[in-house]
Structure 1
């Protein structure tokens, strides 16, 4: 079993890509054949039928939108909030483990294909060197670094078991921090969503402004951290 595991690890990225394509094909097929009318109703039906599976894969891709949907479905009773947190955490954990092993067993290929990301890799190494394991715990909240940091840690000799343990705890915290507030304030969020549906012409620019502001804030915060770490190094 161990020999098989070692043989499979170098192909982690390819296995992940094939699995993702297969899953998306499965979703597309079931979405098309859902026994309800309208794309919105079809999507809701799909979430209720395969909610935990979709949540797991969505969380592998580090998608907060999937966690928000899980919170809303938990609020109306379609999902169990504790199980949703557990599944989402496992998905986030699995995704970062994939990125970690891509770096661990594909060093030459990673450095060659991600040549344009060298600056971010260097920054990730500086963060790990200066702050140690807390970086593994907080990288999910660092805009533009969420994929880079697990890969860059994989490129080092960092202990794989230690990374896995911290990664798992971090993933469950990430899931809980996002899902629980949405589950608790579900009624208020549904009112906002209903308003947005009725006034989409106003909701779209507001969403763009709000989303852009959030991205700008985290991007600026990440750059400040990068500058501080380099100045102190």
Structure 2
């Protein structure tokens, strides 16, 4: 088993991409054939039937939107809160492990294909050197660095077992921090979503402005930290 694992590790990126394509195809097929009318109802049906599977894959992609949906489903009783946190955390853990091993076994290919990201790789190495293991825990909250940091750590000689342990704890914390507040404030969030559905012409620009502002802030903060650390070194 260990020998088989070693053989497939260099192809982890391709396996990940193939699995993602198959999963999206599976969702599209089941969405089209869902025995209900209306796109909203079809999505709701799909989430109720395959909720934990969808959540796991969404966790691998580290998409907070999937975790928000899990929190709402936990609030309505369609998902178990603790299982949702467990599954989402496992998905986040699995995704970062894939990126880690892509870096570890495909160093030359990664640096060649991501040549435009070399500055970010240098920044990630500086973060790891300066802050150590906490950067593994914090990277999920750093805009534009979520895939770069696990890959860059994989390129180094950082202990794989230590990375896996910290990554697992970090992923479960990330899942809990996202899902629990949505579950707790479920009624208030449902009211807002109901209003947004009825007043979509107002909700879309408000959501775009708010979401764009958050992305802009974290992107600017990350770039500012990146410039400062690279200039110091």
**Is 1:170 matched up with 2:170?**
yes
Aligned-CA RMSD value: 0.8
1:3-82 matches, within 5 Å, as 3-82=3-82
CA distance in 2, matches of 1:15, 1:143: 25
CA distance in 1, matches of 2:164, 2:199: 45
Match of 1:186 in 2: 186
Structure 1 residues not aligned, in runs of 5+:
none
Q: Following TM superposition, by how much is the alpha carbon of 1:232 offset from its aligned partner in structure 2, in angstroms?
A: 4.1
Q: Could you give the per-residue CA deviations for residues 14-60 of structure 1, whole angstroms, max 9, x where no partner exists?
A: 11111111111111111111000011100000000000000000010
Paired residues, what number?
Answer: 233
Q: Following TM superposition, by how much is the alpha carbon of 1:196 offset from its aligned partner in structure 2, in angstroms?
A: 0.5
**What's the TM-score, normalizing by structure 2?**
0.98
SS at 1:143 equivalent: coil
1:44-193 matches, within 5 Å, as 44-193=44-193
CA distance in 1, matches of 2:82, 2:228: 38
Q: Following TM superposition, by how much is the alpha carbon of 1:231 offset from its aligned partner in structure 2, in angstroms?
A: 4.3
SS at 2:145 equivalent: coil
Structure 2 residues not aligned, in runs of 5+:
none
SS at 2:143 equivalent: coil
Match of 1:202 in 2: 202
Q: Could you give the per-residue CA deviations for residues 100-131 of structure 1, whole angstroms, max 9, x where no partner exists?
A: 00000001110111011011111001100111
CA distance in 2, matches of 1:228, 1:50: 45
**What's the TM-score, normalizing by structure 1?**
0.98
Q: Mean Cα displacement is larger for which, 218-227 or 109-118?
A: 218-227
